[in-house]
Amino acid sequence: MARTRVGVLISGRGSNLQALLDATQDPVFPAEITLVLSNKAGALGLERARKMDVETGFIDHTLYESRKDFEQDVDARLVQAGVELVCLAGFMRILTPWFVEKWRDRLINIHPSLLPAFKGVHTHDRALEAGVRVHGCTVHYVRPEMDEGPIIGQAAAPVLPGDTPDTLSERVLRAERKLYPACLKLVASSGARVSAERVRIPDSLTLDGDEQLINPS
C-alpha cells in the first residue's frame, strides 16, 4: 500500500521532527517524510533530516512583504514534492487563513499543553502558575484561530513538586515524542476522520478504560 507523503515545517532544533523521522523509518509505517522545510537557515532540524537522506529546503520569511506571499512559496514547494499531509513541528510562524484552508484537514500540529488549556506560548510557566497537577500535549488539526482545531490525541504528564518550567518542559517533550508519531500513524492510515469539527476514530483503534496517559497509544 502506498505511504502518505508528509512534509514537515520547522523553525528550530527539530526534536519532534526526529521522533517523526525515526517512526517513518519503519517500512510498514503508513507515512513517509518526503520534505522538511524551515524558515530558518541554521535550524538544527534541517541537519537531522539530511542525516536521514530526507529532502530539505529553506525559505526565508523575512524576504517577503506579506505572510501570504511567503506561504505561497511554501505551498508551491510542498506541492512540488508531492506532499499530501503537512506536520508542524516547532514552526514559529502564525499561518494565514489562506494556507490553513488550502491544507484543511491535511495540516496537523503539536502543542505543549492539554488544549483547550494554555493556548499560545509559555505554556509550562503558566501551568505552574495555575497550580495544575496534570499537564501535557495535544496533536490537533489546524484551524485559522491559534491553537484551535479538532483534537486527534493527547498525552498527559504529571506536575511534580519542585518542578521548574525547564523540568516540566522536558517531561512534556518526552510525551510529545511518543504522541506525535502515534497521531501521524492514525491520520496517515485514515484512522482519524473529521466530522462536525470532532475527530472520529473507529472503536477498533480506541483505547479501553480511562487510565491511559496517552490517547491514542
The catalytic residue among 61, 111, 124, 140 is: 111
Give the span between the Cα atoms of 58 and 45, in whole angstroms: 11
Give the span between the Cα atoms of 155 and 146, in whole angstroms: 20
> Angle at the Cα of 53 (from 51 to 59), degrees rounded to 5?
90
Give the span between the Cα atoms of 207 and 213, in whole angstroms: 11
How far is C-alpha 116 from the geometric centre of its chain's CA atoms?
16
Nearest partner of 205 among 136, 146, 153, 143, judged by Cα: 153
Q: Is 122 marked active-site?
A: no
Active site residues: 111
